[in-house]
Structure 1
């Protein structure tokens, strides 16, 4: 039933969770993408440890755990709406990569590759979910 998640004639209520979930998932992505800038400014922060520059390990888990419930909600509603599991599968892979990145904390390049790759997959999953839902509105 395509219209069951709509609040008004424009159907925007059903699309908000995807935007929110993508934004929260992108926090990890931004964190990793801004790290090279921090490394470039490293001489200015000569006395700081590596942990101070990349953030504590708990930060990765906190961002991941904040984004996860919103993603599950948005992707579940999308699956109910459009019936296609591909966005949820891609997001699951993205979250797995981001968790692996958090586990790789301290292995700078591996951590960044896993987290950025996972964040991009999650962003794609929510974009695709949004497009599939919008096509039915």
Structure 2
């Protein structure tokens, strides 16, 4: 029963982290396109200054929990390596002064890597 609960908890963390990565990806790709296509929307859709730092602050503990629980069970390091590369890229995009284009590119790449790391983690959990 304890193993089942740990698996369910880890799966929930992976799903939350994948969802957050997906939302980040949508935000990074769709919002700039909307802002370029329809300049009038920029008045209504402005992103608060600290949004990216807040999203990063959410991604780190969620990912750490899911990846730690997964690693304890399947002992594979690749999911964590890929996810940490993604978190690093997201952190660089969120916390360093970059051009908007560079920030978007780095953050999108990081979100894809983070989602891939969690997908690898979830797959390793299912396949032992």
TM-score (norm: length of structure 1): 0.80
Are 2:53 and 2:95, in contact at CA under 8 Å, matched by a contact in 1? no
Partner of 2:15: 19
Worse-matched range after superposition: 53-62 or 94-103:
53-62
Distance 2:46 2:89 in 1: 18
Partner of 2:37: 40
Distance 1:116 1:103 in 2: 14
Cα separation, partners in 2 of 1:14 and 1:98, compared to 1, 3 Å: closer
How well do the aligned residues superpose, as a CA RMSD in angstroms? 2.4
Q: How far off its partner does 1:56 sit?
A: 3.1
Q: Structure 1: which 5+ residue stretches go unaligned?
A: none
Q: Structure 2: which 5+ residue stretches go unaligned?
A: none
Are 1:21 and 1:126, in contact at CA under 8 Å, matched by a contact in 2? yes
Among 117, 123, 135, the alignment partner of 2:115 is 123
Larger radius of gyration: 1
Distance 2:124 2:4 in 1: 14
Partner of 1:5: 3
Distance 1:77 1:122 in 2: 16
Cα separation, partners in 2 of 1:5 and 1:39, compared to 1, 3 Å: farther
Distance 1:14 1:66 in 2: 16
TM-score (norm: length of structure 2): 0.85
Q: How far off its partner does 1:53 sit?
A: 5.6
